[in-house]
Each structure stands twice: as structure tokens, then as C-alpha cells.
């Protein structure tokens, strides 16, 4: 049993790596930071005695992506794909170079789609497999912070649900994992210091352990769209019910971004 996890050098991806290793999987993990990947691999080898293969590279690099696609096409022992790699943007779309939103399209969407396209035929033949796409609650509603991040996650969630409608007949489980604010390095990279990463009203922060717990539990129950945390689920239900005109009035100009 092998689990292939993108963006496993830190945060949620590293926790997925630990969890699948604890469940008896060997791993293939990817990311750009070789030293971080080595650290995760060493920890897993020591704690769980599993084999960990590292593939270093940028998912926006077509050559690296092609190498991973080839690996997935030709490795029938890979039964789990976790498309987790992701990033936020420091600048708003209207003031950023177009290359940065492009990077989100490449990493969140193009890479995830190519990797799924590579592995699904084999999973279909074997009538078995699991695909987890790490999306976000940001995909459920517009925000003033950044239009590209939420829109790519909305795409990823809808894409995953649409795949579920067909792949469940082939024994393949797909999941769109939609975490809310999670303590990783993600927000610090965007300029939000750790001390500002605090609960605000219904907006709660959570840990990578709880996020991955929710994902693993949902694999058993077959839930396709997974929102970890009761308050996050409640907030998303409220957002869906609020008329858009009122929602816009509340959200206009509200941004987590430092301008």
C-alpha cells in the first residue's frame, strides 16, 4: 500500500504523511523544500518504519509534473493520492503580477488534475483507490482578501464532487477536504504573525491533527465534502442562506490582508 502526497514538507500534508504511515502505508511525498521533506521522511521512518520516497520539485514546473504523472501511471501499488500542495498570495489580484494568480492555477488546479488524470485509469481497473483533494472553506463564499485563492478552491471542490458521481461506481473514494483556519505556516508566509492567529467569533482556528482526523473519519463514512469543525460547518450553512446582497454589504472591504 502506497500513499502519494503532494506538499508534504509541512502542515496538513506532513500530518497526512504521518497518518497514512501509521496506518501501514509506504509513502511518496513531494514539495520544493528538500530539507523539510527529509525531516518528515526521517521522522516517519523512525516512528513507523515505513519506506518514504521523496520527489523534490515545483508543481508549477511542467517537467516536474510530467515526472510525477509518469510515476503515477506506472505504479499500480499507489492506492492513495492526496492533492494537498497549496499556497496563498500576498497581494490582491488587482495589484499583483499576473504570474502569481497563474501559479495558484498551476498548483491548485492543473497539477491536481494532471495527477488525478494519471492515476484514475489504474484505480478504475483495480476497482479501488482513494483521492483526497485539499480544498478550503474559502471556496464556499467570496471574500475581499483574494479572489483567486477562493475561486481555485471552489473549482477543486466542485470538480471533486463531480468526479465522485462517476468514480463511486468504480470503487474509488474521492473527498474534498475543506478546512477553515488551521495552524500551519500558511498564514505566516502571507504576513500574519502567529500571535494574530486567534479565534474571532465563529471563526475558529484548528490543528492539523484535527483536520486530518476529520478527513480520515469521513473516508469511513463516505462523506465527499468534509468541513472539519462544527462551527465551520455552521458558518458555511449560514453563509449559504444569507441573501447575496446582504452578504456583500457585510463583507465589502473586509480583508485579512495587510494593505
Ligand X SMILES: NC(=O)c1ccc[n+]([C@@H]2O[C@H](COP(=O)([O-])OP(=O)(O)OC[C@H]3O[C@@H](n4cnc5c(N)ncnc54)[C@H](OP(=O)(O)O)[C@@H]3O)[C@@H](O)[C@H]2O)c1
Rounded to whole angstroms, the Cα distance separating 13 from 84 reads 6
Minimum CB distance to ligand X smaller for 61 or for 127: 61
The grid cell for 233 is 460547518
Minimum CB distance to ligand X smaller for 126 or for 213: 213
Task: Determine the distance from the C-alpha atom of residue 227 to the mean position of all C-alpha atoms in its chain, rounded to a whole number.
Answer: 12
Rounded to whole angstroms, the Cα distance separating 50 from 60 reads 29
Enumerate residues 173-202 that contact ligand X by CB under 6 A.
179, 181-182, 184-186
- Select which of 25, 48, 149, 247 is catalytic: 149
Strand partners, 56: 31
Continuous segment of H or E residues that includes residue 149: helix 147-167
Give the interface segment with ligand X, choosing from 29-37, 216-224, 228-236, 250-258 (CB under 6 A): 29-37
Residue 13 engages ligand X in binding (rule: CB under 6 A): yes
Handedness of CA 145, 146, 151, 152 (dihedral sign): negative
Out of 5, 10, 25, 101, name the contact with ligand X by CB under 6 A: 10
Q: Cα-flanking dihedrals φ and ψ of residue 161, to 5°?
A: -60, -40
Minimum CB distance to ligand X smaller for 86 or for 129: 86
Residue 48 annotated in active site: no
**Could you tell me the smallest distance in angstroms from the CB atom of residue 128 to ligand X?**
25
Enumerate residues 72-131 that contact ligand X by CB under 6 A.
84-87, 107
**Calculated CA dihedral for residues 36, 25, 179, 256, nearest 10 degrees:** 10
Instruction: Provide the annotated active-site residues.
Output: 149
Instruction: Give contact residues for ligand X (rule: CB under 6 A).
Output: 7-13, 31-33, 36, 58-60, 84-87, 107, 134, 136, 179, 181-182, 184-186
Amino acid at each position: 500500500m502506497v500513499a502519494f502526497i503532494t506538499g508534504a514538507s509541512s502542515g496538513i500534508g506532513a500530518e497526512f504523511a504521518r497518518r497514512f504511515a501509521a496506518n501501514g502505508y509506504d509513502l511518496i511525498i513531494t514539495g520544493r523544500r528538500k530539507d523539510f521533506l527529509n525531516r518528515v521522511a526521517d521522522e516517519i521512518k523512525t516512528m513507523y518504519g515505513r519506506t518514504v520516497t521523496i520527489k523534490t520539485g515545483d508543481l508549477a514546473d511542467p517537467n516536474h509534473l510530467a515526472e510525477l504523472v509518469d510515476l503515477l501511471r506506472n505504479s499500480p501499488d499507489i492506492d492513495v493520492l492526496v492533492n494537498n500542495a497549496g499556497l496563498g498570495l500576498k497581494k490582491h489580484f488587482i495589484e499583483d503580477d499576473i504570474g502569481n494568480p497563474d501559479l495558484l492555477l498551476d498548483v491548485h488546479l492543473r497539477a491536481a488534475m494532471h495527477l488525478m488524470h494519471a492515476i484514475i485509469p489504474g484505480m478504475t481497473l483495480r476497482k479501488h483507490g482513494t483521492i483526497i483533494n485539499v480544498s478550503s472553506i474559502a471556496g464556499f463564499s467570496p471574500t475581499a482578501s483574494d479572489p483567486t485563492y477562493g475561486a481555485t478552491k471552489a473549482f477543486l471542490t466542485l470538480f471533486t464532487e463531480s468526479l465522485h458521481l462517476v468514480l463511486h461506481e468504480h470503487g474509488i473514494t474521492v473527498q474534498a477536504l475543506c478546512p477553515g483556519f488551521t495552524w500551519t505556516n500558511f498564514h505566516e508566509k502571507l504576513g500574519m504573525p502567529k500571535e494574530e492567529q486567534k479565534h474571532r467569533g465563529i471563526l475558529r482556528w484548528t490543528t492539523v491533527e484535527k483536520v486530518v482526523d476529520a478527513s480520515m473519519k469521513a473516508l469511513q463514512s463516505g462523506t465527499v465534502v468534509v468541513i472539519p469543525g462544527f462551527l465551520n460547518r455552521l458558518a458555511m450553512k449560514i453563509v449559504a442562506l444569507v441573501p447575496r446582497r446582504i452578504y456583500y454589504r457585510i463583507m465589502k472591504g473586509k480583508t485579512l490582508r495587510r494593505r
